[in-house]
Structure formats: C-alpha cells, structure tokens
Chain A
Amino acid sequence: QKEVEQNSGPLSVPEGAIASLNCTYSDRVSQSFFWYRQYSGKSPELIMSIYSNGDKEDGRFTAQLNKASQYVSLLIRDSQPSDSATYLCAVNLMDTGRRALTFGSGTRLQVQP
C-alpha cells in the first residue's frame, strides 16, 4: 500500500460549491496530518493541520480526521476560482520511524467560474 494516497484528479467543481478532497495513509499510529496548497510552479503553502479525530474548521476550510479508518479529508466551502490548485496531503508516518513529512501525489482542483 502506498504510504499516503490521494486521487490525482482533476476534481472539477463550480464556483460556490463544496470541494471535497480525500487522503488515506498507511500506518495506524501517525499523529500529525497536514494539508498544503500548491499552485503551479510554486511551493507548498500550509493551509490546515489536524492532530485529533473529528473536524477542525478554519474559515472556508474544514479538515476531517478518522484515525481508525486512516483517512483525512479537506472540505473547501464556497469554492472560488482562486482555489484552483493542487492540494497535497502530508503525514508524519510514525511506522516508518521518520518524523519528516511524507506527501501524497496531490489532487488537482479546478473551480469553474
């Protein structure tokens, strides 16, 4: 199983809709989960972190974590064309012994005006 897995997309949503991005990860003891946004040719920009099961909201973004299912998601409400980017899921995978981030390949989001 891939360590951090995301659908590559593109995920296309109309402006104003909710975009739902999903990520699964391979180990059961990971504690730290992050969502980064990456515009083409730019660096990853941290938008959300989540450490506990449940939901965490920040503005139009909500991160959801379910450790039992090894699943983390990101909801973007009222999607805007400026949200069009690749969204990277990143995890501190504890079972690798590695404290550094392991990234998924990213989901490309397209918000249609």
Chain B
Amino acid sequence: EPEVTQTPSHQVTQMGQEVILRCVPISNHLYFYWYRQILGQKVEFLVSFYNNEISEKSEIFDDQFSVERPDGSNFTLKIRSTKLEDSAMYFCASRVGQGSYEQYFGPGTRLTVT
C-alpha cells in the first residue's frame, strides 16, 4: 500500500541553523501539507501546496519557513533560522485531489533545537 515517507526521522540542530525536512508524498496525490505537533499539544496546520504553489498557510508559517517541490517526488520544508520553540514533530501529509479530502500522514520528523 502506498504511503508517505519522511526523512530524517530525527534531526538535532543548534539554534540559528537552517534545517530541511524531506517528504515523498503518495505518488498520485496532488495536494501536500505540513503539520507540526509540539510535545503534548495538538496537531497544527502549517502550509498546504498544490500545483507548485502555496495554496494556504497558517499564522505559524512565517518568513522563516518555506516549502518547495524540487522534483516530481520530493516535497521539502525549510526552516531558515531555527528557534528553540521550533522543536516539534513535523508531519507531511498528502491527499489525492478534488472530491477526496482524506489526508494521509507520513511517520514524521522529530526536530530538536538545542
């Protein structure tokens, strides 16, 4: 069964460093998402991406964040200058397209900022 994959599973970085989190959505899916979950808190929406552009973003997704689909399979989230409060699980999700709203999540990347 196709699934969303994410790398790395765990990333440790120092405050102020740039990180790139990678995702490979399900191959026939057209909509891609990033969510985050701070330990013990709810899952929060960051950004959605369709047709090679951002379709929606939350107030969390400020200028420190960017997303890119550099090729036909990868979908990346970049954090330019990490802060301690960026420590969280980051989940990539995808959905197939119009008429189907079911989103499937990848296993997540645990980001630890020290």
Binding site for B on A (CB under 8 A): 32, 34, 36, 42-46, 49, 51, 88, 90, 92, 98-106
Among A45, A99, A104, A105, contact of B105 (Cβ-Cβ < 8 Å): A45
Is A46's CB under 8 angstroms from B104's CB?
Answer: yes
Q: In whole angstroms, what is the CA distance A79 to B83 when docked?
A: 42
Among B45, B91, B102, contact of A46 (Cβ-Cβ < 8 Å): B102
User: A36, A90, A100: which has the most chain B beta carbons within 10 Å?
Assistant: A100
In the complex, chain A residues whose CB is within 8 Å of the CB of B108: 42-43
Is A101's CB under 8 angstroms from B106's CB?
Answer: no
CB distance from A43 to the nearest CB of B (A): 4
Is B42's CB under 8 angstroms from A103's CB?
Answer: yes
**Chain B interface size, under 10 / 10 to 19 / 20 to 34 / 35 or more:** 20 to 34
**Which residues B60-79 have CB closer than 8 A to chain A?**
none
In the complex, chain B residues whose CB is within 8 Å of the CB of A42: 107-108
CB distance from B10 to the nearest CB of A (A): 11
Q: In whole angstroms, what is the CA distance A51 to B55 when docked?
A: 23
CB distance from B30 to the nearest CB of A (A): 13
